[in-house]
Amino acid sequence: MRSASWLAVGILPIWLQGCGDHGSGAPAPTLASASDAAIVDTLHGVTPFISFAELRGKALGGVTTVTYRIDPRPGTSSRPVSVQRTVDALRRRGFADGNANAITLPVFGLYADFSNHVSIDLTFSDASTQSLSVDIAAPAYVDPNGVYDHMTILKSRGAGDSLGFDFFAMKSGLGSPVVVDSDGYVRWVGSFASSATTSTFESLGFLVGDAASTSLHRLELDGSSSEMQVSSPVYTKFHHNIDPGKVGLLVEMDSTANGVSNVESTLTEITDSGVVLKEWDLAAILSEYMRNAGDDPTAFVRPGIDWFHLNGSVYDPRDDSVIVSSRENFLIKLDYATGEIRWILGDPTKYWYTFASLRAKALLLEQGGLYPIGQHAPSITSDGLLMIFNDGGQSSFQPTGAPAGEERTFSAVSAYDIHPDSLSATEAWRFDYAETIFSDVCSSAYEAGSSKSILVTYAVAEARAKARLVGLDGSKNVVFDFEYANSKGPCTTSWNAIPVSFDALREQ
């Protein structure tokens, strides 16, 4: 489809009455006022949520920045999609010619099956601006899996509800990440056909680790993609999460070296182009520590078996450390540089607690707190607490006869205040939805910036049949609650989800 619907609005120069030149204090015309820039066409992208606006005009050579805004649908509460890109950034990506007399502007975040009113502002080198607008009729979205176009709203966001985020990305096992707004409308899907469970949002795109290889895919919001490789001969595939690191990205990768297979027990920091920066081999770190402390590690560290099940991590800049989540065992804090164990927080009824060396590093949780059990998605909140999704499911891969720990009937979001000097911790707060939802595997909880608003993902609610996406305001009140079917299996619809700032995207 090519749409010729466009409107260009110029800014007329103001002249003093009777003046025929620019003397006598009359303002000179701006670049915007003399601009011939116009929208001449629109083109559909690879999905209904992506289009391209074609801009032409000699005046485009004087433009430095292009900003677009998509008007919200009537009756919705989410902020408008807003994207600002410099012409240099557009040129680097091949969307502007050398003289910038022609710009093809990617417009993503559209409502499907709707006529979207899009405002485009051109900022010129003299700081003047020209406003253009176009209506883009996006086609309907039909999810080939029959999942994301069949959402059920259990609670909708009200007009006066305060929320610190308006968009979130579900990490799908069925294809590309899926971006949804806080009103429940899908706002972006790419054409990626493989699983995107191991993914993160970064700089107008998603990075996706391959679940079957060391390939690292970059999915641009304009619908294009590229592929890189992680530069290591021992790694075999990505799994679980990608989290922000100290320098690059923290990723979990399986590896095989000298005939030994490390299953879900290695944390690695890489650049966004796949260069390996640092590695923490939890099998080696724990084995050395336990042996030096007088324990035999071979009963605990069992290469070739999913004994650790690393599923997420977070860098803590306050003491230059990483906190690693082992679903089978505990949360463990390591010195970033040396890998030295700082502390361990986990269920003391599990197998790991039977080892004296590990007990020596254990944090005592003050009475009344929920220990992390089967936890996912560790993060540091804006007020310095360690937050997790506290699944509540016991261990699955312990030795025969070994204690698998407690199992609850509900899941929670738990935030801990850690006291390392006294080896103790306090559960500062928790959200458990009145103990009504049990999501024993996968799942997540992430704060949106410093807003204290939280996005909670119950990946396998209702006996693993449903995924629930819940938005909480800063007081932990439920603002929205959306439900999707796990029709393709547990954790496939949204194994994890993160807030994304489609209302304030910028590229220099």
Per-residue 3-state assignment (H helix, E strand, C coil) for 385-416: CEEEEECCCCCCCCCCCCCECCCCCCCEEEEE
Q: What is the pLDDT of residue 258?
A: 84
Find the range with the poorest average confidence among 246-260, 351-365, 430-444.
246-260
Asked if residue 504 belongs to a domain, the reply is no
Which residue has 């509540």 as its token pair? 392
What pLDDT, in 10s, does the model give residues 153-178? 999 999 989 999 999 999 999 999 99
The reply to whether 320 falls in a domain is yes
Rounded average pLDDT over 429-441: 98
Tell me the average pLDDT across 59-69. Answer: 97
Task: Give domain status of residue 507, yes or no.
Answer: no
Identify whether the C-beta of residue 174 lies closer than 8 Å to the C-beta of residue 493.
yes
CB 424, CB 403: distance < 8 Å: no
- Asked, for residue 503, whether it belongs to a domain, the answer is no
Same domain for 167 and 55? no
Cα–Cα distance for residue pair 419/428, rounded to 1 Å:
12
290 and 249 assigned to the same domain = yes
Structure confidence at residue 24 as a pLDDT band (50, 70, 90): low
Q: With bands split at pLDDT 50, 70 and 90, how would you rate the model's confidence at 19?
A: very low
Which domain CATH number covers 335? Answer: 2.40.128.630
- Which range among 23-32, 314-323, 338-347 shows the weakest confidence by mean pLDDT? 23-32
Residue 131 forms part of a structural domain: yes
Q: Please check whether residues 120 and 158 belong to one and the same domain.
A: no
Task: Mark residue 363 as left, alpha or beta (left: phi above 0; alpha: psi -120 to 50; beta: remaining).
Answer: beta
Last residue of a domain, one of 138, 166, 200: 138
The residue from 69, 104, 138 where one domain ends is 138
pLDDT of residue 25: 63
CB atoms within 10 A of CB 222: 21
- DSSP 8-class letter at 352: G
Domains in the chain, number: 2
Biggest distance spanned by C-alpha atoms of the chain:
98
For residue 285, the SS3 value is helix
The angle formed by the CA atoms of residues 298, 304 and 305, to the nearest 5 degrees, is: 80
The model's confidence at residue 259, banded by pLDDT at 50, 70 and 90, is: confident
Q: Answer yes or no: is 358 within a domain.
A: yes
- Which residues form the domain of 415? 152-465+477-497
Is the separation of the CB atoms in 41 and 30 below 8 Å?
A: no
Mean pLDDT, range 231-239, rounded to an integer: 94
**Do residues 413 and 374 share a domain?**
yes
Dist CA 202 CA 105 (whole Å): 20
Same domain, 93 and 238: no
Q: What is the mean pLDDT of the chain?
A: 94
Tokens describing residue 441: 């595997």
Tell which of 106, 138, 170 closes a domain.
138
The terminus-to-terminus CA distance of the chain in angstroms comes to 30
User: Where residue 137 falls among pLDDT bands split at 50, 70, 90?
Assistant: very high
Residues 23 and 75 in one domain: yes
Are 431 and 476 in contact by the 8 Å Cβ rule? The answer is yes
Q: What is the pLDDT of residue 83?
A: 98
User: In degrees rounded to 5, what are phi and psi of residue 357?
Assistant: -65, -40
CB 250 within 8 A of CB 269: yes
Name residue 405's amino acid: G
pLDDT digits (tens, 9 = 90+) for 75-131: 999 999 999 999 999 999 999 987 778 999 999 999 999 999 999 999 999 999 999
230: region left, alpha or beta (phi > 0 left; psi from -120 to 50 alpha): beta
For residue 199, the cross-strand partners are 208
d(CA 177, CA 413): 23
Query: Is 221 found in the same domain as 117?
Result: no
Q: Which of 127, 108, 102, 120 is nearest to 52 (CA)?
A: 108
**Whole-angstrom Cα distance, residue 342 to residue 266?**
18
- Give me the pLDDT at residue 26, please: 65
Rounded distance between C-alpha atoms, residue 436 and residue 481, angstroms:
13
Among candidates 43, 40, 30, 33, which has minimal Cα distance to 102?
A: 40
Per-residue pLDDT band for 28 (boundaries 50, 70, 90) equals confident
CATH number at residue 19: 2.60.40.3100
Task: Name residue 272's amino acid.
Answer: D
User: Could you tell me if 352 and 208 lie in one domain?
Assistant: yes
Local structure of 498: helix, strand or coil: strand
